Amino acid sequence: MKKKLFNTTEGRIFLTGLILSLLLLITIGYFTYIDIGTAKTLTLAFFAHTFGGRAAGIGLCIMEGFGPTITIAYNFYLEVLIVCFAYSIFVLTTNNYIRVMWVTNLIERLAQKAVEQKDKVQSFGWIGLFIFVMLPFPVTGPVMGSVIGYMLGINLFKNFSATGSGTLAAIIIWFFCFDFLEQRFHVIQYVFAGIVILALLSHRKAIIKFFAGKKKLN
């Protein structure tokens, strides 16, 4: 007999994601009334992270004038929030707690990508997972890292400590690289624009498919 959803570890992680999301909405709502520019930056950074653009999220915060502590803490918060949802939904779908067709299809594609990357991590254990998450490539990052950790049977603490510390290290590196460029060369706008273009190019097939689908509907 299956446990009730929120009695499972993954169910509690999902609940944590809901709580973090509620806190984020409250924060954005608060800044909407006192500083609309900050609210927009917080929102755009969230969407950047949702689509795998942690560098873009960090760049947005720096351009808005956020300091190092706020920029690093906020972007790390967003990554934790996203991992809570992605990891828990992946495991809950795999264990048949969630049976929604479109979610299942997304999870299957995520699992396929994870399998392709799994061998790169397996031989090195925790440090391999840490480095995988830290590297700034399209297929890396905490979501993919946490899924790979689950597939490899790494216990939850080691999995999340590796993905969390790898994410934090990546955010710190990105911040100080961007800050260095901004302070000395004032070219962060161009670097940020380049990152956005690369992100769009990496998702070009999905974008083309989306607009092609809209044309057919019309």
Summarised one tens digit per residue, pLDDT across range 132-166 is: 888 877 677 888 889 888 888 889 999 999 999 99
Question: Given the structure tokens 């809950």, which residue do they identify?
Answer: 92
Tell me the pLDDT tens digit for each residue of 76-124.
Answer: 999 999 999 999 988 888 887 777 777 777 778 777 877 777 777 877 8
CA distance 139 to 143: 10
Alpha carbon distance, N-terminus to C-terminus of the chain: 48
Mean pLDDT of all residues in the chain? 81
What value, to the nearest 5°, has the Cα angle with vertex 202 and ends 196 and 205? 120
In this predicted structure, the answer to whether residue 200 has a pLDDT above a threshold of 60 is: no
At how many degrees (to 10) do helices 156-184 and 54-63 cross?
A: 40
Does position 197 have pLDDT exceeding 70, yes or no?
A: no
pTM value?
0.80
